[in-house]
């Protein structure tokens, strides 16, 4: 069995950690920023050395292809280069570098393959600069309206379209993914959670992406002076919000223990220490792989009282997604290859979203997870040991070669 090269993997990771280096062990590499463009340039330089054919679509997605037999559909691998603010050196970029290392191994070891093998780099996966997340894969897979995405603005008032034009990476090829052109899509990613490390597993065999709902709640009270209004006369919107949050926690805790839910954003108005809050908004993000459990979450939300401690309570769904199930044969290939390589592995569902979930509606797809130490991700402490990065690359290589036989 041929393996990828650990030293090459390490060199790749160390090199790309320089693009957007925060000086504190992480990166800030927002989509189409100067550091993201430097990373793109480095990828393209390496692809050219491997004699790959490079094309870009009009959302700046990159497709670098190692030729195969003419007329056969391509095997796609990849992820994204952009990061969140003060993010880590593994989220997204590891999937790109693993795919690049797999292709480099095939070239250097002269491994015969029938199908073209394409490295795909998706633009603006994080949505940290331009809303929404997974923007360009969403356009390619017809989940998002392209014209609307082009108008998305960053905090400085620059539109995605303006950044795209300025970048020099806007291509001309059709940005719609044709299932006839592709045999498979594979994405390696860090787990972004603590399960693989806690279970002492080298590889996560990703069966799919959890469904989720995201709601915003609004509580309306009355703003009054904090020093003169007796407690019994108050309509405190923040107090009402805490009551609703407590209700949600108590009820949701009675559901399946794999359910995860988060109140990640709270906005209080007028947010002055001498004024009773008259409006408080907060979000609830709930995720589970079983649609029935998500339905139960919605039922609990629908039972929230319309009035709490004298305050009006309203809520609305901001967005949601159905559970995505990956291609069974390819998921089984990942499991088989982890076992053949002698790596410990377990089946797992992804809580976070990935470009792969959109692609799976068009092309048979699977993902491979490698551990995140202490579950850290989207922060500068994000870390995956080199041994695990290399093991993930080896499973990816063998899975690509299995698919190539189809």
- The number of C-alpha atoms within 13 Å of 104 and in the hemisphere containing its C-beta is 21
Q: Where are the domains of the chain?
A: 6-208+325-404, 211-321
pLDDT at site 174: 76
Interacting residues of 13 by C-beta distance below 8 A, sequence separation 6+? 89, 90, 93, 94, 97, 386, 389
pLDDT at site 338: 98
pLDDT at site 188: 98
pLDDT at site 172: 87
Interacting residues of 190 by C-beta distance below 8 A, sequence separation 6+? 90, 91, 94, 369, 370, 371, 372, 377, 382, 384
pLDDT at site 215: 97
DSSP string for residues in 335-385: HHHHHHTT--EEEEEESS--HHHHHTTTS-EEEEEE--GGG--SSTT----
Please provide the CATH number assigned to the domain covering 211-321: 3.30.70.360
What are the pLDDT digits (tens) for 282-329? 999 999 999 999 999 999 999 999 999 999 999 999 989 999 999 999
Q: Do the beta carbons of residue 316 and residue 215 sit within 8 Å?
A: yes
In the predicted model, residues of the chain with pLDDT beneath 70 are none
pLDDT at site 173: 84
- 373/377 Cα distance (integer angstroms): 9
pLDDT at site 179: 87
What are the pLDDT digits (tens) for 127-166? 999 999 999 999 999 999 999 999 999 999 999 999 999 9
pLDDT at site 135: 96
Output phi, psi for 188, to 5 deg: -90, 140
User: Can you name the residues that pair with 184 across neighbouring β-strands?
Assistant: 75
CATH architecture of 6-208+325-404: 3-Layer(aba) Sandwich (3.40)
């Amino acid at each position: 069995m041929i393996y990828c090269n650990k030293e090459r993997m390490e060199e790749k990771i160390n090199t790309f950690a320089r693009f957007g280096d925060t000086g504190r062990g992480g990166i800030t590499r927002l989509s189409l920023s100067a550091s993201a463009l430097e990373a793109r340039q480095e990828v393209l330089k390496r692809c050219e050395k491997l004699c790959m054919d490079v094309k870009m679509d009009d959302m700046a997605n990159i497709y670098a292809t190692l030729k195969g037999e003419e007329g056969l559909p391509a095997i796609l691998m990849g992820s994204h280069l952009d990061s969140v603010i003060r993010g880590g050196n593994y989220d997204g970029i590891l999937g790109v570098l693993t795919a690049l290392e797999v292709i480099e191994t095939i070239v250097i070891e002269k491994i015969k393959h029938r199908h073209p093998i394409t490295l795909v780099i998706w633009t603006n996966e994080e949505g940290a600069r331009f809303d929404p997340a997974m923007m360009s894969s969403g356009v390619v897979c017809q989940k998002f309206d392209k014209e609307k995405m082009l108008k998305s603005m960053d905090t400085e008032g620059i539109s995605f379209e303006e950044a795209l034009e300025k970048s020099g990476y806007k291509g001309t090829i059709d940005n719609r993914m044709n299932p006839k052109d592709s045999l498979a899509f594979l994405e390696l990613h860090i787990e972004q959670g603590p399960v693989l490390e806690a279970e002492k597993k080298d590889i996560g065999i990703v069966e799919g992406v959890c469904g989720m709902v995201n709601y915003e709640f609004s509580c309306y009270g009355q703003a009054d002076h904090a020093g003169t209004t007796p407690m019994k006369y108050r309509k405190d919107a923040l107090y009402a919000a805490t009551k609703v949050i407590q209700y949600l926690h108590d009820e949701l805790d009675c559901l399946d223990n794999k359910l995860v839910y988060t109140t990640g954003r709270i906005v209080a108005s007028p947010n002055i220490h001498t004024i009773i809050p008259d409006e408080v908004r907060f979000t609830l993000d709930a995720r589970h792989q079983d649609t029935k459990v998500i339905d139960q979450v919605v039922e609990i939300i629908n039972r929230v009282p319309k009035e709490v401690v004298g305050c009006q309570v309203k809520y609305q769904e901001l967005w949601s997604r159905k559970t995505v199930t990956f291609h069974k044969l390819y998921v089984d290939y990942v499991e088989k290859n982890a076992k053949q390589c002698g790596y410990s592995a377990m089946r797992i569902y992804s809580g976070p979203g990935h470009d792969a979930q959109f692609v799976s509606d068009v092309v048979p797809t699977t993902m491979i997870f490698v551990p995140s130490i202490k579950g850290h991700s989207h922060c500068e402490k994000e870390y995956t040991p080199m041994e695990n990065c290399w093991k993930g690359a080896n499973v990816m290589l063998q899975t690509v070669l299995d698919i190539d036989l189809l």
